[in-house]
């Protein structure tokens, strides 16, 4: 279990450097009293482990910029990876004090090790601008509670040179607000310059949070998490009211087309949210304890085994 005595811990992401597992996570001091306030009192922590169970905390890895800046209010969920030149890249979500933390953008920091990070320029690497911005909901007021563009998941393009980014967003021109959630998409030749592309998947929920794209036994999966209050009407009629937790899409390629498997998600029983799959003696699922009889957990649960069925669907039960 990854926990801090004086901080709540929630969204997390992972990387193995060849020797150890590294975890970056969102944290907020319990002294603020109400865990719902954690989103506006956030910094990012770093911890190291050999087994994904026992963790050594390394302190704060990233915090909001000194204002005024586009990311001077919050720094939220992202991903970390190594570039072709051996340098490390740290992508994150940022919001500003001036915009009331309601407009999200994607930032980028770089480092020669995994301990110290420096923003690339002012940190801003992607916004909902350019020719493909018309695919995304930017006029959000009255339709949703924020302008969604967060949780960047960055990976090497397996089909050619360059890099792919997936992120939480909302599509433009959708009649039902709870059917407008989408997996946003961008491409880069070098991790530094990014081009916004149309979403790779739209629908089913008002938001699909914390995407992770990975290949499992030859098929592609896109994990995401969601709350049933944001489930589209057609989705509820087809699949019933799906529980809060970790869900996924299945695709033939990392660019899709993606489909939503029938039935419930991967983990809607343990109240594990914003979960990730990693490879460590088989597939393992890690996410934070979101709720239960005692209320908000605020720690990362021990890893749970993940199994792939013959039809490509995923389960926590063998």
What are 164's two structure tokens? 């792919």
Helices (H) and strands (E) in the chain, counts: 1, 21
pLDDT tens across the length of the chain (318 residues): 999 999 999 999 999 999 999 999 999 999 999 999 999 999 999 999 999 999 999 999 999 999 899 999 999 999 999 999 999 999 999 999 999 999 999 999 999 999 999 999 999 999 999 999 999 999 988 889 999 999 999 999 999 999 999 999 999 999 999 999 999 999 999 999 999 999 999 999 999 999 999 999 999 999 999 988 999 999 888 888 888 899 999 999 999 999 988 877 899 887 799 999 999 999 999 999 988 777 899 999 999 999 999 888 999 986
| pLDDT number for residue 42 | 99
How many residues make up the chain in this entry?
A: 318
| pLDDT number for residue 239 | 82
User: What residues does 21 pair with on adjacent strands?
Assistant: 16, 49
* Distance, C-alpha 34 to centroid of its chain: 23
* Stretch (H or E) spanning 276: strand 272-279
Q: What are the CA-CA distances from residue 34 to residues 6, 7, 31, 229, 296 (Å)? A: 13, 12, 8, 22, 10
What are 52's two structure tokens? 């994904």
Q: Do 149 and 127 contact (CB within 8 A), yes or no?
A: yes
| pLDDT number for residue 189 | 98
Closest CA to 46 of 109, 88, 2: 2
* Torsion angle of the four alpha carbons 92, 65, 17, 85, in this order, in degrees rounded to the nearest 10: 90
Helix (H/G/I), strand (E/B), else coil: 5: coil
Q: Do 7 and 28 contact (CB within 8 A), yes or no?
A: yes
Q: Do 251 and 259 contact (CB within 8 A), yes or no?
A: yes
Residue written as token pair 């937790």: 245
Q: Is the whole model's pTM more than 0.85, yes or no? A: yes
Closest CA to 150 of 197, 104, 100, 85: 104
| pLDDT number for residue 141 | 87
Instruction: Fill in the DSSP letter of residue 270.
Output: S
Sign of the C-alpha dihedral computed for residues 251, 261, 303 and 181 taken in this order: positive
| pLDDT number for residue 317 | 83
CB neighbourhood size of 13 (10 A): 27
Q: Do 245 and 274 contact (CB within 8 A), yes or no?
A: no
What are 177's two structure tokens? 């607000």
| pLDDT number for residue 293 | 75
SS3 content of the chain, % helix, strand, coil (to 5): 10, 50, 45
Domain annotation for the chain: domains and CATH numbers: 2-208+275-315 (2.115.10.20)
Q: What are the CA-CA distances from residue 255 to residues 100, 150, 181, 220, 311 (Å)? A: 33, 19, 17, 9, 20
């Amino acid at each position: 279990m990854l926990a801090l005595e004086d901080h709540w811990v929630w969204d997390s992401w992972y990387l193995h450097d060849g020797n150890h597992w590294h975890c970056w996570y969102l944290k907020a001091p319990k002294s603020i009293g109400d865990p719902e306030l954690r989103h506006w009192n956030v910094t990012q922590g770093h911890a190291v482990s050999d087994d994904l169970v026992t963790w050594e905390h390394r302190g704060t890895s990233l915090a909001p910029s000194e204002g005024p800046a586009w990311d001077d209010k919050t720094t939220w969920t992202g991903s970390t990876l190594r570039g072709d030149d051996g340098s490390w890249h740290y992508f994150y979500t940022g919001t500003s004090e001036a915009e009331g933390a309601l407009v999200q953008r994607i930032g980028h920091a770089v480092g020669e090790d995994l301990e110290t990070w420096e923003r690339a320029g002012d940190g801003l690497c992607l916004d909902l601008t350019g020719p493909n911005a018309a695919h995304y909901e930017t006029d959000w007021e009255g339709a949703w509670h924020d302008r969604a563009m967060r949780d960047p998941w960055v990976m090497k393009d397996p089909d050619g040179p360059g890099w792919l980014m997936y992120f939480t967003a909302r599509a433009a021109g959708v009649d039902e607000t709870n059917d407008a959630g989408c997996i946003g998409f961008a491409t880069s030749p070098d991790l530094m310059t990014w081009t916004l592309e149309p979403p790779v998947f739209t629908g089913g929920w008002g938001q699909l949070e914390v995407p992770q794209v990975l290949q499992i036994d030859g098929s592609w999966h896109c994990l995401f998490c969601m709350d049933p209050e944001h489930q589209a009407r057609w989705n509820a009629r087809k699949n019933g009211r799906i529980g809060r937790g970790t869900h996924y899409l299945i695709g033939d390629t990392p660019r899709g087309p993606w489909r939503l498997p029938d039935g419930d998600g991967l983990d809607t029983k343990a109240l594990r949210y914003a979960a990730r799959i990693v490879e460590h003696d088989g597939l393992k699922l890690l996410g934070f304890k979101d709720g239960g009889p005692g209320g908000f957990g605020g720690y990362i649960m021990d890893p749970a085994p993940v199994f792939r069925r013959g039809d490509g669907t995923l389960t926590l039960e063998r």
